[in-house]
Amino acid sequence: TTLRVALMGLGSYAARVAEAMQSCKRAKVTGLISGTPSKLQEWGTKYGVPEKSRYNYDNFDRIKDDADIDAVYIITPNAQHRDQAIRVAKAGKHVICEKPMAVNAKEGQEMLDACAEAGVKLLVGYRLHFEPKTLEVIRMRNAGDFGNILFFQGLSGFRIGDPSQWRLDKALAGGGSLMDIGIYAINGARYMVGEDPVWVTAQQTKTDPVKFKEGVDETIQFQLGFPSGAVASCLSTYQMNHLDRFFMTGERGFAELRPATGYGPIQGRTHKGELTQPHAMHQTIQMDEMAGILLDGNTPVVPVDGEEGLKDLKIIDAIYAASETGGRRQLRLSK
């Protein structure tokens, strides 16, 4: 069977997902939700979505009665995710939500609760959790190839352009670089080390307070401490290019992914040599695997469920709080 997906928010990332889904074996675009009638028309024609499965933000609750939609993939500005996800859940459809799942842990928890109450599943678009070279590093770690993990470094950033975009508007983005790109280092630290952090420290730098307004972080350095004693040191920024690197070292070996999170081929090496797993479009693999999770109850090696999204939001909350005070924040992520 095929997972029938409605895309919500027809922007640049949704365009990438829609293209990649054309190569999916188990997932298909069968619905569209947009505030722009011309996009509904254009995308509808391009992807073969009939008019009856095209919705806008006022009427999409009607997907409840659309038998051709199993799940809605929310690809809108961050601050909209919570309300949209709750409406999708109430319509009885599974929710796939882009990262960051919400703009803070409180809103993330509300999404989990709404999905649980409605009896639908909540997944987060963590495409790298299905990426072959990433999974090989995780396999090697679990096999003990690196020995005890001691240190992780995550560098995630780019120089952001247009100052008027929603990513630089706190009301729509929920924050700045950390919400958008730093979350890759947070999430990566967790799947590379294979543990959840128990403390956080953070420092914030702002060189351009005109472009990066109150509540929109430009650059944050943060450190995470893990139960085993491993430590992560990460950089999140909207002010520097060429930052997409994960490095991890243990008692017996190392892994480096660079680029670690971009859309193109992930590249990397370990103390045993180059990683050679073939590249496939991340969003194609992701959506096929999500079909397996939602339709067959498959369990992925690295989780992509709402609990996973919520952990990252709790860490983001703690990083922002620590960066205000310069102090250390304790974390308790598992129940």
- Single out the segment in contact with ligand NAD by CB under 6 A; choices: 73-81, 109-117, 190-198, 250-258: 73-81
- Interface residue with ligand NAD among 166, 170, 206, 305 (CB under 6 A) is 166
Cβ neighbours of residue 139 under 8 Å, at least 6 residues apart? none
- Contacts with ligand NAD by CB under 6 A: the residue count is 18
- Beta carbon of residue 165, minimum distance to ligand NAD (angstroms, whole number): 7
**Which letter does DSSP use for residue 22 in this model?**
T
Q: Between 127 and 133, whose beta carbon lies closer to ligand NAD?
A: 127
Sites for ligand NAD among residues 283-312 (CB under 6 A): none
The yes or no reply on residue 78 touching ligand NAD (CB under 6 A) is: yes
3-class SS of residue 70:
coil
Tell me the three state secondary structure of residue 228: coil
Q: Nearer to ligand NAD by C-beta: 187 or 270?
A: 187
What part of residues 21-60 is at the interface with ligand NAD (CB under 6 A)? 35
Do the beta carbons of residue 207 and residue 261 sit within 8 Å?
no
**Quick one: tokens of 64?**
């409840």
Minimum distance from CB of 162 to ligand NAD (Å)?
Answer: 10
127 binds ligand NAD (CB under 6 A): yes
Shortest approach of ligand NAD to residue 14 CB, angstroms? 6
- Among 11, 132, 194, 303, the residue binding ligand NAD under the rule CB under 6 A is 11
Q: Would strands 273-274 and 268-270 be described as parallel, antiparallel, or unpaired?
A: antiparallel
Residue with smaller CB distance to ligand NAD, 195 or 288: 288
**Exactly one of 28, 54, 93, 99 binds ligand NAD (CB under 6 A); which one?**
99
Are 100 and 181 spatial neighbours (Cβ–Cβ below 8 Å)? no
Give the residue numbers marked as catalytic: 99, 184
Stretch that binds ligand NAD, among 7-15, 151-159, 288-296, 315-323 (CB under 6 A): 7-15
- Per CB under 6 A, 125 contacts ligand NAD: yes
Residues 231, 176: Cα–Cα separation, whole Å = 24
Question: C-beta of 11: minimal distance to ligand NAD in Å?
Answer: 2
In angstroms, the Cα distances linking 216 to 100, 158, 183, 314 are 15, 15, 14, 18
Helical spans, DSSP H, in 12-95 = 12-21, 37-47, 81-90
Q: Peptide bond before 259: cis, by omega within 30 degrees of 0? A: yes
CB-wise, 9 or 225, nearer to ligand NAD? 9
- For the bound state, the minimum distance from the C-beta of residue 67 to ligand NAD, rounded and expressed in Å, comes to 26
Question: Whose CA is closest to 192, among 282, 236, 257?
Answer: 257
Applying CB under 6 A, among 70, 107, 180, 312 the residue interacting with ligand NAD is 180
Are the C-beta atoms of residues 269 and 283 closer than 8 Å to each other?
no
Q: How far is the CB of 334 from ligand NAD (least distance, A)?
A: 25
- Edge-first strand order for the sheet with 54-55 is 54-55, 27-33, 3-8, 71-74, 94-97, 122-124
Pairing between β-strand 149-157 and β-strand 199-205 as defined by DSSP bridges: unpaired
**Interacting residue ranges for ligand NAD, rule: CB under 6 A:** 9-14, 35, 75-78, 98-99, 125, 127, 166, 172, 180
